[in-house]
């Protein structure tokens, strides 16, 4: 078994154990393999071990990788910041965008999504713990933005996405993830047909699943430690 295959198996075991602990059905939690900074061979190894959905932060890097992997039926998720001049590429090359935090970005993605592609699935990124200078809309503004995004014709609003500050220990992580969960429920109660709460990474996926995450985004635990790259953006 390759290292990536055995890492994936461990991550799946972590997800299964967390679901069992939280008395949740393991099928409620999707694993997004975050392949940023890793090459196409790593993605191939993960796909051979059963991974089908991949998250990338840097648009250009993702597109180059996708071209080398076009023979595989992979689903690509944009999980990095989306500048206005990159929306056309995101609309053309991804199935999902997790990091929509402004109406203008959403409008451009909708306008630029080609008619022969299915609607782009999107999550609204929420700055759930109020970190200064962080991307993501303030929690109090999420409902209004969600309503506007839901009305755009070429987008399919799926839910919310968060990247909380690293917190030490399960209880601290859980507290933050619970805020995201309650915001998610609030939006659903307001009538938005959401099915995705994208939260939890290598360090906090158990707490995220406990709080109700439906999609964990895991990089390091699958592919190993990333080397810093400067040319990626
Ligand atoms: C890099 C990244 C991840 C994966 O983080 P790990 O700690 O390596 O699992 C998840 N989500 C986002 C938005 C990221 O940028």
Tell me, what's the pLDDT at 48? Answer: 98
Q: Taking CB atoms and a 6 Å cutoff, what residues make up the pocket around ligand 1? A: 34, 36, 57, 79, 163, 201-203, 217-221
Tell me, what's the pLDDT at 231? Answer: 52
169 CB neighbour count, 10 Å cutoff = 9
pTM: 0.96
> Lowest-pLDDT range, 80-94, 130-144, 150-164?
130-144
Residues facing 62 on adjacent strands: none
163 alpha carbon – ligand 1 mean position (Å): 8
Tell whether the model's pLDDT for residue 233 goes beyond 50. Answer: no
Tell me, what's the pLDDT at 1? Answer: 80
65 alpha carbon – ligand 1 mean position (Å): 18
Q: How confident is the model at residue 230 (pLDDT cuts 50, 70, 90)?
A: low
Map tokens 């939006």 to a residue: 187
Q: How confident is the model at residue 150 (pLDDT cuts 50, 70, 90)?
A: very high
Look at residue 73 and give its three-state secondary structure. coil
- CATH topology (fold) of 3-223: TIM Barrel (3.20.20)
Calculate the average pLDDT of the chain. 96
Tell whether the model's pLDDT for residue 89 goes beyond 80. Answer: yes
Query: Are 126 and 142 within 8 A, CB to CB?
Result: yes
Q: How confident is the model at residue 229 (pLDDT cuts 50, 70, 90)?
A: low
Q: How confident is the model at residue 232 (pLDDT cuts 50, 70, 90)?
A: very low
CA-nearest residue, atom 10 of ligand 1: 217
Tell whether the model's pLDDT for residue 74 goes beyond 80. Answer: yes
Residue 197: phi and psi, rounded to 5, are: -120, 100
Q: Report the atom number in ligand 1 closest to the C-alpha of 221.
A: 9
Q: For 114-129, what is the mean pLDDT?
A: 98
């Amino acid at each position: 078994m390759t290292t990536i295959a055995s890492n994936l198996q461990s991550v799946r075991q972590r997800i299964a154990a967390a679901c069992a602990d939280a008395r949740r059905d393991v099928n409620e939690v999707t694993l997004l393999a975050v392949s940023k900074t890793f090459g196409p061979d790593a993605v191939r190894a993960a796909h051979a071990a059963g991974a089908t959905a991949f998250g990338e932060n840097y648009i250009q890097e993702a597109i180059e990788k996708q071209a080398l992997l076009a023979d595989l039926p992979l689903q690509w998720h944009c999980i990095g910041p989306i500048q206005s001049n990159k929306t056309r590429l995101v609309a053309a090359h991804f199935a999902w965008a997790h990091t929509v935090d402004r109406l203008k970005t959403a409008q451009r993605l909708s306008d630029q999504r080609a008619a022969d592609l299915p609607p782009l699935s999107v999550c609204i990124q929420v700055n759930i713990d109020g970190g200064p200078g962080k991307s993501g809309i303030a929690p109090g503004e999420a409902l209004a933005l969600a309503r506007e995004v839901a009305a755009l014709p070429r987008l399919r609003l799926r839910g919310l996405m968060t990247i909380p500050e690293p917190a030490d220990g399960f209880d601290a992580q859980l507290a933050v993830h619970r805020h995201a969960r309650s915001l998610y429920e609030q939006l659903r109660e307001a009538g938005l047909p959401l099915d995705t709460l994208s939260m939890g990474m290598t360090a906090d996926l158990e707490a995220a699943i406990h709080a109700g995450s439906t999609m964990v985004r895991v990089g390091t635990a699958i592919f190993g430690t990333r080397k810093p790259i400067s040319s990626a953006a």
